[in-house]
Amino acid sequence: MCYINGVRVTHAEFISYKQQEKELRQLMEGSQLREIRKGFDYTQWPVIKPSADGKDWDLVLMEWGFIPSYLKTRAEVAKFRNGYVGPDGKWVKGYTTLNFVGEELMEKFMYKEAALKRRCLVLSTGFLEHQHIEVMGKRGKPLKTPEKFPYYITVKDRPYFFFLGIYNTWTDQETGETVDTVSFGTTEANSLMRQIHNSKNRMPVIPPIELAEEWTDPNLSPRRIIELTSYQIPSREMQAHMVPKNFLELDDPTVPCKDERVPDLIYDENEI
């Protein structure tokens, strides 16, 4: 879920975090950050992580898609991500590490050390999910496969926000290439996201600033880590609108659109 994320930034814009301003121009120099990108492209993404001395935060680019240390080469990574034909001739399905299930974080071998030692914040200004709607065919009967309608989702009064993330510094044993790779957490969907991401009922963990700052504390207990990855932002703090199905081809992929077959979203103002 949430395999399409966005960050609307220019060389003239800044990121503020704990009353410190970081100029994105330095970060993006030589990079090709797009406003909306698919996770399965495994591109670079802006991430905030604690500095080496623990006294500040560094704004860096990381490869979106956590790579566990036991993978030794890019060829192994490609097989891990995309799948491959095993020795018995059967297809071995690929494994997605763009995000992780927050409730299961400490149970996953590949994630546990990073959860304890390498927590970070993944930057977003908006993300996309698809709503599955049963539509009627030309013969007046429901089609076997629901139609998917994309929605662009943001947080009210917050031009940028964070997903709780973990990262791993991975080295290719063949080339010596070293990259930081990142994954972010998901939790159960709130009432708004249950309407949109109605196929899986999941959503990113989007913490308020005080919990985002706590997430980077190196002394968090395993219990508190799981508590934070279970945080659910209230629906009333979010906003969402449908976008065209070809949004990735548009100059502005966040432009609103309507479809009479899709019911209006309902925001629960009383949700805690």
In tens digits, the chain (272 residues) has pLDDT values of 554 444 444 333 334 444 444 444 444 444 444 456 677 788 888 899 988 877 778 888 899 999 999 999 999 999 999 999 999 999 999 999 999 999 999 999 999 999 999 999 998 889 999 999 887 777 777 777 889 999 999 999 988 899 999 999 999 999 999 999 999 999 999 999 999 999 899 999 999 989 998 999 999 999 999 999 999 999 999 999 999 999 888 888 899 999 988 999 998 877 76
CA distances from 216 to 55, 82, 124, 193, 211 (A): 11, 31, 17, 26, 9
Return the structure tokens found at 16. Answer: 């503020």
Query: Is 34 part of any domain?
Result: yes
Query: Is 220 part of any domain?
Result: yes
Query: Is 133 part of any domain?
Result: yes
Radius of gyration for the chain, computed over Cα atoms and rounded to the nearest angstrom: 19
Residue 137 CB neighbour total at 10 angstroms: 9
Query: Is 270 part of any domain?
Result: no
Return the structure tokens found at 96. Answer: 């997605």
Return the structure tokens found at 252. Answer: 């502005």
Query: Is 255 part of any domain?
Result: no
Q: How many domains does the chain have?
A: 1
Q: In this structure, is the dihedral angle defined by the CA atoms of residues 212, 216, 219 and 223, taken in order, positive or negative?
A: positive
- Quote the domain boundaries for residue 65: 4-249
CA distance 259 to 146: 15
For residue 201, the domain's CATH number is 3.90.1680.10
